């Protein structure tokens, strides 16, 4: 029963992330919806706890990857794309210093 709850939570989380990441892009939203549903239906009859845990881990990794690396871009004209990064993809731009600070 516990793994069932984890699977349902992951399913909802993936769909929420899809909606946030691909906001205002109907083609990407629909493609993402279909892919998520297809993958969950494909593994619906899985009964091995080890395999279920492995699939949950893969799904969680995919959610993290979508949330932290995908940036939307919109064409403004034939040679310009405007990027709209979300807060999750913005990194602290502090320079790396290998030596001790003086």
> Is 77 part of a structural domain of the chain?
no
> Is 10 part of a structural domain of the chain?
yes
Q: How many domains does the chain have?
A: 1
> Is 76 part of a structural domain of the chain?
no
> Is 25 part of a structural domain of the chain?
yes
This prediction's pTM? 0.79
29: its two tokens: 């939203």
Contact 35, 22 (CB under 8 A): no
> Is 20 part of a structural domain of the chain?
yes
State the alpha helices, DSSP H only, in the chain: 2-21, 26-42, 49-69
From CA 90, how far away is CA 73, in angstroms rounded? 15
27: its two tokens: 């083609």
Residue 61 lies in domain: 2-70
> Is 63 part of a structural domain of the chain?
yes
pLDDT in tens, 13-62: 999 999 999 988 899 999 999 999 999 999 999 889 999 999 999 999 99
């Amino acid at each position: 029963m516990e793994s069932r709850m984890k699977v349902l939570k992951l399913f909802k989380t993936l769909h929420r992330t899809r909606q946030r990441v691909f906001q205002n892009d109907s083609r990407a939203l629909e493609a993402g919806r279909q892919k998520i549903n297809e993958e969950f239906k494909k593994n619906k009859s899985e009964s091995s706890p080890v395999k279920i845990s492995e699939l949950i881990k893969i799904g969680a990794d995919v959610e993290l990857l979508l949330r932290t690396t995908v940036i939307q871009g919109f064409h403004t004209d034939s040679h310009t794309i405007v990027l709209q990064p979300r807060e999750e993809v913005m990194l602290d731009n502090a320079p790396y210093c290998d030596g001790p600070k003086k």
